[in-house]
């Protein structure tokens, strides 16, 4: 004999703040940003600038549009970040010779050198999270999967 299906949660239960995935993601993001802030200040980077640098350390010379796709940022948000990174001597923006509308972003020597100093940032997250590398990798994959499913909906 089958056991009865669990009762659907009440509206009151569904609308409790602590039952909201969106709040868990949001508050975890705030905690993450708070953790990263002093680490990134030592590198003289904001969190969004750090994300740009991570992408460029993976693959230098991307076009602005490719950076935007990778980071889920529009050009209106990305352009000021890139201008700031350029004024700080970390990247150079170069217009494409064949198409002036296309702009490539290249790391400078200082931008490449900064990668070594940034190497301690992930270790700090690992220590602060009190998770194993495997746990963090699984959590990252789950969050990426959730993001992709929500985007597709």
Segment 77-118, tens digit of pLDDT: 999 999 999 999 999 999 988 887 889 999 999 999 999 999
For the domain that residue 89 is a member of, what is the CATH number? 1.10.10.10
For residues 37 and 107, membership in a common domain is answered with yes
Shared domain for 101 and 52, answered yes or no, is yes
* Percentage above 90 pLDDT, the chain: 86
Same domain? For 61 and 102 the reply is yes
Per-residue pLDDT tens over the stretch 19-30: 999 999 999 999
Tell whether 98 and 43 lie within a shared domain. Answer: yes
Alpha-carbon gap, residue 76 to 82, rounded angstroms:
11
Same domain, 137 and 109: no
Q: How confident is the model at residue 2 (pLDDT cuts 50, 70, 90)?
A: confident
Residue 2 belongs to a domain: no
Do 39 and 106 fall into the same domain? yes
Question: Within this chain, do residues 99 and 46 fall inside the same structural domain, yes or no?
Answer: yes
For 63, the domain range is 32-117
In a domain, 91, yes or no: yes
Asked if 85 and 149 sit in the same domain, the reply is no
Domain count, the chain: 2
pLDDT at 1 over 70: no
Q: pTM of whole model > 0.85?
A: yes
pLDDT exceeds 90 at position 56:
yes
SS (H, E, C) 46-92: CHHHHHHHHHHHHCCCEEHHHHHHHHCCCHHHHHHHHHHHHHCCCEE
């Amino acid at each position: 004999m089958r056991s009865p299906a669990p009762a659907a949660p009440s509206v009151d239960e569904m609308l409790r703040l602590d039952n909201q995935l969106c709040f868990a993601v949001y508050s975890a993001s705030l905690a993450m940003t708070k953790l990263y802030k002093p680490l990134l200040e030592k590198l003289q980077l904001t969190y969004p600038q750090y994300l740009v640098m991570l992408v460029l350390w993976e693959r230098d010379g991307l076009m602005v549009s490719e950076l935007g796709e990778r980071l889920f940022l529009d050009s209106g948000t990305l352009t000021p970040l890139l201008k700031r990174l350029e004024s700080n001597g970390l990247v150079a923006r170069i217009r494409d010779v064949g198409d002036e509308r296309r702009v490539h972003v290249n790391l400078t020597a200082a931008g490449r050198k900064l990668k070594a100093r940034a190497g301690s940032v992930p270790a700090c997250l690992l220590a602060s999270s009190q998770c194993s590398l495997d746990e963090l990798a699984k959590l990252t994959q789950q969050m990426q999967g959730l993001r992709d499913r929500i985007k597709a909906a």
